[in-house]
Amino acid sequence: MILFRAMEQPANSTKTAAPEGSSSSTLRAEIKSWTRDLLIAFALAMVIIVFLYQPVKVEGTSMSPLLTDQERIFINKFVYRFEPIQRGDVVVFWYPLDKSKSFIKRVVALPGDTVEIRLGQVLVNGKVLDEPYVPGQFADRTSLGPARIPEDHFFVLGDHRNSSNDSRVFGPVPGEFIYGKAVFVYWPVERFGLLPAIGSDVQ
């Protein structure tokens, strides 16, 4: 007579011990994968920055209030290979009187345009240029021209007209001297963001 019977174990209750070190191997593989992805992302970012964009430090107040002294911005070095320079673009170029220096100004007149300044008011082809980026306190009362802009040259002005060395002084800038378009402020942090695209029209 059987007084008791040993309890049978369920067939699936037997556990196989994980191979020693398998979890650490998985972690190492994941870290390796993350590191690889980060390196690829960093390399792509460097390619974009080095070949498409260039960091530039703004010196001076000639483009105030859009850009202020010591701000850091990115310029697009390739944009003008695919589209023409437009009126209103903020461009970086080699200073025509000393190519070791770079200036940043706004394009106000294009090749073939006739530009004139009457007591600070800019006229292009006989029509007043709408310039919302020039605050009243930064305007001036100078007069110039009229003058026709030569082929592949651009007439540039600083937004702070009372504090700018620009085409009023050194004349139109050759297109080959223009090497970038200002697109993005990255420092200081409170100014972080894209620069407004202003295609200035004549009234």
What string of DSSP letters covers 42-107?
HHHHHHIIIIIEEEEE--SSTTTTTS-TT-EEEEESSGGGTS---TT-EEEEEETTEEEEEEEEEE
Catalytic annotation on 62?
yes
Q: CA-CA distance, 187 to 36, in Å (whole number)?
A: 29
Marked catalytic residue, from 25, 105, 127, 143: 105
Identify which of 203, 188, 184, 134 has the alpha carbon closest to the alpha carbon of residue 162.
134
Contact 177, 154 (CB under 8 A): no
Catalytic annotation on 164?
no
What's the chain's length in residues?
203
Marked catalytic residue, from 13, 15, 24, 62: 62
Cβ neighbour number for residue 197 with a 10 Å cutoff = 11
Contact 105, 63 (CB under 8 A): yes
Q: CA-CA distance, 118 to 153, in Å (whole number)?
A: 21
Q: Which residues contact 97 (CB under 8 A, 6 or more apart)?
A: 170
User: Annotated active-site positions, please?
Assistant: 62, 105
